[in-house]
Amino acid sequence: MSGLNKSMLGVLILMATISLAQAVEISDALRTRTEKAITRIETEGPELGFIMAALREANASYMPEIVAPIDVTKYQDPEAQRLIIGVYQMDLTYAATFDQRQATAQYGQAIYELFDKLGFPNPELAKQYREALQNIDLPGGEERLRELIKKQDANEDWKSMLRSGDGLDLVVDGLFAYIIEGVYLTCEMATLSDYDPTFLKCVSDLKGSFILFQELLAEYDDDPDFAAVTAASKRGLAIQEILTQFGDAAEITPVGVKKLRPLVAAIRKGIVQ
């Protein structure tokens, strides 16, 4: 599976096993359109896991000072919880790519705690993440963690989460925050690399994620159901600002990163508490 990152969708697809009977129903037409739009993101967008791997191969290092602190108690509002799930999933991808086993397990556990707060509990996977964190340094600890991450990716029945407005809101906010955190981390690493060309290319590659997300939102300009259950207009304005800073050039320059970085940091500041 390609796209924004199969691990991000892996976290979202766990909702396939969850009952949404008490959630607000959305129309079949809206659900079908959204399924097609997300499939397009999967198949056409840059995969952030691959971008993180490219940074690792370019001798980047894991920097705990640039990721979001883990503290689910700070996020009590449902919108804040949906957004921080996307941030934490990107930080999990970063940690896993750079073989940071403890951080990976901690982000995984935090994500499932947030799902529980949102009314989408998955106690079995949450338990497995707690156990992975407790046993991370024991023989086989790393392999158990990798298998747990694979389990997230294996379930392709993610579409069932779109039965409700709650699930649709989580898709929009989670993916938005995920790509925001991805470009934030990449800009930080590019800056610290003194604008190494490989790092600049990784920043440039992320532009495609924002274009596809903007096109996803544009498809629903005339759909009152979509507007009613998501913060689409607010997310769209932020995406447009970022694309304006990216500009029309295929490759971003050091000057471009210097302009993009504070904008992304400001948007992220509104998410990470």
- Report if residue 265 sits inside a domain: yes
- Report if residue 222 sits inside a domain: yes
pTM: 0.80
- N residues, the chain: 273
Total count of domains within the chain: 1
- Report if residue 92 sits inside a domain: yes
Burial 208-238 (b: 16+ CB within 10 A, else e): ebbebbeebbeebeebebbeebbbbeebbeb
Residue of 249, 220, 254 lying closest to 235 (CA atoms): 220
- Report if residue 211 sits inside a domain: yes
Taking 3-state DSSP, the helix, strand and coil percentages for the chain, each rounded to the nearest 5, stand at 75, 0, 25
**Domain range for 95:** 6-269
The region that residue 6 occupies, defined by phi over 0 for left and psi between -120 and 50 for alpha, beta otherwise, is alpha
List per-residue pLDDT tens for the chain, 273 residues long.
333 444 444 444 333 323 233 344 556 666 666 666 666 666 666 677 788 888 989 899 999 999 999 999 999 999 999 999 999 989 998 998 898 988 988 898 898 888 888 877 767 766 777 777 777 667 777 677 777 666 655 544 344 444 444 566 777 788 889 999 999 999 999 999 999 999 999 999 999 889 888 877 776 666 666 665 555 678 888 999 999 999 999 999 999 999 999 999 999 999 999
- Report if residue 135 sits inside a domain: yes
- Report if residue 1 sits inside a domain: no
- Report if residue 56 sits inside a domain: yes
- Report if residue 30 sits inside a domain: yes
For residue 61, what pLDDT is reported? Answer: 92
